[in-house]
């Protein structure tokens, strides 16, 4: 075996070990001593926000996904642009689309008041996502904690790493695999679309160009989403129960009522069909697999130990 190959294998092994050991530093009891009121404070703030606007639950869940998929779960998605770097908020997948930053600001302020500069913004986003799921009827799971916050953000990575609504099944599998997530994780995490809404610009190609969509469903959507203009008109990702975290997302896919192209490809005579069918008939299994997949996603390249910082303001570096 050549020396270059040996070096490559060593670097890969080291990189893999470092990634696993960083994730292993996370613990569900991380703040038990340093900030015992952290989780109850976050839960209370999320419950208040979701009670005021149910859609906010989906928005907070989506923030966690968009954070983790861009250079890991490090709170970078929360950073505002500065004169020295262009952050992730204005990247095409996020601009005029991501919401909930003000809620995270409120939660951070509440947490800072009970234990200053102790709980990271990245952890707040992870816990808020879980609490949002629970508030809307979904599964409760233990969030692993101990992440620290990034001191930078990447516009380019946000533009390239977040799978677009036009994604094929193979590109979704590849995108999630690149983050260390399995196809099973991907299909389970897609079930997050059982809550929330999407903009017309995201589902327009599916309702006008695709054939794997229920005709009456497409016609109904076309009433509020014309072939051009009105890009910000909204439609529920789950046409049946858009404010309840359940398994109707998968039931809808089986009758070709997936809102996005990237939704319906999960049930389109492909390799994901059997798992979609399983979840559509077994909500408990979906809940269990979703919780496990969320934990796996939360383990993507966290900053731990002395890396990063604990931001006092989630929008800017200390």
Q: What is the pLDDT of residues 266-314, one digit of tens each?
A: 999 999 999 999 999 999 999 999 999 999 999 999 999 999 999 999 9
Provide the residue range defining the domain that includes 204. 169-297
Among 126, 145, 162, residue at a domain's last position: 162
Q: Is 191 annotated as a binding residue?
A: no
Same domain, 262 and 149: no
Per the domain annotation, does 173 fall within a domain? yes
Among 162, 187, 212, residue at a domain's last position: 162
- d(Cα 122, Cα 73) in Å, to the nearest integer? 6
Query: Residue 66 catalytic?
Result: yes
Q: Is 273 annotated as a binding residue?
A: no
Among 102, 128, 162, residue at a domain's last position: 162
pLDDT tens per residue, range 106-152:
999 999 999 999 999 999 999 999 999 999 999 999 999 999 999 99
Number of domains comprising the chain: 2
Same domain, 47 and 102: yes
Q: Is 70 annotated as a binding residue?
A: yes
pLDDT tens per residue, range 167-212:
999 999 999 999 999 999 999 999 999 999 999 999 999 999 999 9
Structural contact between residues 86 and 98, judged by C-beta atoms closer than 8 angstroms: no
Same domain, 205 and 155: no
Same domain, 256 and 287: yes
Catalytic residue among 66, 142, 206, 261: 66
CATH code at 204?
1.10.420.10
């Amino acid at each position: 075996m050549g020396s270059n190959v040996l070096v490559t294998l060593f670097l890969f092994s080291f990189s893999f070990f470092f990634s696993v050991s960083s994730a292993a530093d996370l613990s569900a009891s991380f703040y038990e001593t340093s900030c015992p009121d952290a989780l109850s404070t976050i839960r209370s703030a999320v419950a208040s926000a979701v009670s005021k606007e149910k859609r906010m639950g989906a928005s907070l869940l989506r923030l966690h996904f968009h954070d983790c998929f861009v250079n890991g779960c490090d709170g970078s998605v929360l950073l505002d642009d500065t004169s020295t770097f262009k952050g992730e908020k204005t990247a095409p997948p996020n601009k005029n689309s991501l919401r909930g930053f003000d809620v995270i600001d409120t939660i951070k302020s509440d947490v800072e008041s009970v234990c200053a500069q102790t709980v990271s913004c990245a952890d707040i986003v992870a816990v808020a996502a879980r609490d949002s799921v629970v508030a809307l009827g979904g599964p409760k799971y233990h969030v692993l904690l101990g992440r620290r916050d990034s001191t930078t953000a990447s516009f380019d990575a946000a533009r390239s790493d977040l799978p677009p609504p036009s994604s094929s099944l193979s590109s979704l599998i590849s995108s999630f695999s690149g983050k260390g997530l399995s196809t099973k994780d991907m299909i389970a995490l897609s079930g997050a679309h059982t809550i929330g809404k999407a903009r017309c610009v995201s589902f327009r190609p599916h309702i006008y160009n695709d054939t794997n969509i229920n005709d009456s469903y497409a016609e109904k959507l076309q009433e509020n989403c014309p072939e051009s203009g009105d890009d910000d008109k909204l439609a529920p990702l789950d046409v049946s129960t858009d404010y309840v975290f359940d398994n109707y997302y998968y039931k809808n896919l089986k009758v070709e009522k997936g809102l996005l192209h990237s939704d319906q490809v999960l049930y389109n005579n492909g390799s994901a069909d059997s798992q979609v069918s399983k979840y559509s008939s077994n909500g408990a299994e979906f809940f269990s697999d979703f919780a496990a997949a969320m934990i796996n996603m939360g383990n993507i390249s966290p900053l731990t130990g002395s890396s990063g910082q604990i931001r006092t303001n989630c929008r800017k570096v200390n």
